[in-house]
Chains A and B, each alone.
Chain A
């Protein structure tokens, strides 16, 4: 130890953090007092729901532990679902591989190398059945992460499965995300527009909502993925404003069809990120609840209070996780999970610490669920509703966030709404500017990240277990898709696809859900149905 360097620390200077700004640039004051906030706020469960959407919140019922899961084949993913329930998961969150989210079968050349990597490989009715083996569809709620038009195909498979099990559609509980702007990697332009025309995708999404509120009234018909928006690098204000503006575009589109807002609005939800700035995040969720309630009541004329509820699932942020010292991510995820609970959200996915390397292993999935259970059962954070309510800091920051979010929403509205901003490239530009800024903040350590840009240790790669796939998984799935489509007993498929193509060509403005469901019932594959529509539109895809 003779050549150890001298300790570099000067107690006379003390240790200071670099600044007092929030992640979105809001300046925190030294102390908050009744000069900052001296109002009273309505109870939880009362409009505008700042303190929570239910009167009793977690005293009445804990949030749902809903880990996004899936890898490889449907059979392997079914085993993972069973494992997650065994350790205490309480809801299902189906994540398909990317091919599943953009309407490709595993045998499509550009899809082959990605089969089953980021989620479950799914393309047939039989895949859906294998994935949900032994899951009681009327007891366990499932979230299905698919954008339109593919959401219609997977919803069709799900309903066929329910029918085969004798479960009426009106008993189905769960969510079809059904948003074509945010489902892949946030609202980046190319990712969401290359495989299907975006206007028709949105239109088909609205068709599906109209259909589902009629046949499956307990089913959630739309979920705006605010988390993917945030993970593309924007701040809390942008996340909230983008997501709420997009939500408003959907509500507006459905109202314009002449549908009563109270028939569908109670079935709309959001999926947000939880970042590391505790009080700004708590304020964000409280402000989002308030804004959504006001939008629905004042702008869209909702009369049913359920229409005004900002129901929110969350996943702790991945962009905050580091490859350096990955165990630090356990701490980050735990803080974010606690923040979500202090914010009063409805379901939580705690991101696993190995995410900067690979998909979560069973072990890290389990730790994520345990994190939630410790907060639920050991910390007492659940025992009173809105525990931070009334704090001068939190109330003042909630007001401030609300004001900043409204302001940005007004700008988006002046530009024609979120969908128009997306199509005009304004959103893309905002995302890129945010990314460059974020990169600068990380480089300069204005955004401190422990173990990465501050207190960075030796440059050795971390030694953690890496999740690996079965070596023949992709080949098997590709072979399966090829042989499935070769089956000669598929007479009904061609007829159904021709019928769908004809409808898309001649009457794309009319309902497209029924002809897509008919093709699904005829057991056409995901890509067969998607291609029938693409070809009818003369739409070519990357190959």
Chain B
């Protein structure tokens, strides 16, 4: 990476279980990404605004309580409406198997479920950046 890719890491809505978010944020930072830690209790609108202000290359969202489809869909719609289709979106956390495909079909670039190892997650994120934008 010549210029550090900038990743916003966040939890959406009211769930504040942040073990995974903290750990993956550190792994990303250690691997050379620039992590913008947005913490918990975010709305999709807030993450959109941060993405624009921070000129972020990707957003990573961590879920636990079953709100993953709602917020991923909403954020992708906002990205599209603001011409940010090239911003990568990856999600992780407690996501039932059937929902993994739903998320990928709606345009989430990578989905990491419990038990994913550090190298799997980092190579998954790396390969998001190698793919072309969703719009192209």
Name A residues whose Cβ lies closer than 8 Å to a Cβ of B: 97-99, 102, 104, 109-111, 113-114, 117-118, 184-185, 188, 190-191, 194, 231-233, 319, 322-324, 356-359, 432, 435-436, 438-439, 443, 452-453, 461-462, 466, 469, 542-543
Contact = CB atoms under 8 A, between A and B. Distances in A.
B43 interface: yes
Interface stretch (B8-16, B83-91, B126-134): B8-16
B98 interface: yes
Nearest to B116: A323
Given A114-B65, A118-B65, A435-B22, A102 B14 contact: yes
Given A99-B14, A114-B67, A436-B26, A356 B114 contact: yes
B115 A452 contact: yes
Interface residues of B, number: 32
B40 A98 contact: no
Contacts of B100: 461
Where chain A touches its partner, the secondary structure class is: loop
B19 A233 contact: yes
A113 B118 CA distance: 29
B14 A111 contact: yes
Contacts of B14: 97-99, 102, 104, 110-111, 114
B15 A435 contact: no
B114 A466 contact: no
Shortest Cβ-Cβ A-B pairs, 10 listed: A191-B16, A461-B97, A323-B114, A98-B14, A542-B41, A113-B70, A114-B14, A439-B23, A117-B65, A117-B66
A110 B39 contact: no
A104 B70 CA distance: 19
Contacts of A452: 115
Q: Which of A117, A184, A461 has the most CB of B within 10 A?
A: A117
B19 A232 contact: yes
A110 B41 contact: yes
Given A98-B65, A322-B114, A461-B100, 5 more contacts: A98-B15, A110-B13, A453-B117, A466-B97, A542-B42
A117 B94 CA distance: 13
B17 interface: yes
Q: Which of B66, B71, B100, B114 has the most CB of A within 10 A?
A: B66
Q: Which of B16, B70, B117 has the most CB of A within 10 A?
A: B16
Contact of A109 (B16, B41, B43, B67): B43
Contacts of B26: 436, 439
A466 B41 contact: no
Interface in B19-35: 19, 22-23, 26-27
Contacts of A102: 14
A110 B94 contact: no
Nearest to B41: A542
Contacts of B97: 357, 461-462, 466
Q: Which of A97, A99, A439 has the most CB of B within 10 A?
A: A439
A443 B94 CA distance: 19
Contacts of B17: 185
Contact of A188 (B13, B16, B113, B115): B16
B43 A190 contact: no
A474 to B, nearest CB: 9
B113 A323 contact: yes
B57 interface: no
Contacts of A98: 14-16, 65
B96 interface: yes
B96 A466 contact: yes
Contacts of A190: 16, 39-41
A356 B94 contact: yes
B95 to A, nearest CB: 9
A188 B11 CA distance: 14
Contacts of A466: 96-98
A500 B115 CA distance: 48
Contacts of A439: 23, 26-27, 118
A432 B20 CA distance: 11
7 contacts: A97-B14, A110-B43, A114-B15, A191-B40, A324-B115, A439-B118, A543-B43
A184 B114 contact: no
A231 B116 CA distance: 19
Nearest to B114: A323
Contacts of A117: 15, 65-67
B16 A184 contact: yes
Nearest to B97: A461
Interface string B53-71: 0000000000001110011
A191 B41 CA distance: 8
A436 B15 contact: no
A117 B70 CA distance: 12
Contacts of B39: 190
A435 B23 contact: yes
B12 to A, nearest CB: 8
B96 A358 contact: yes
Q: Which of A110, A233, A452 has the most CB of B within 10 A?
A: A110
Q: Which of A97, A104, A323, A438 has the most CB of B within 10 A?
A: A323
A184 B15 CA distance: 9
Given A323-B113, A432-B22, A542 B43 contact: yes
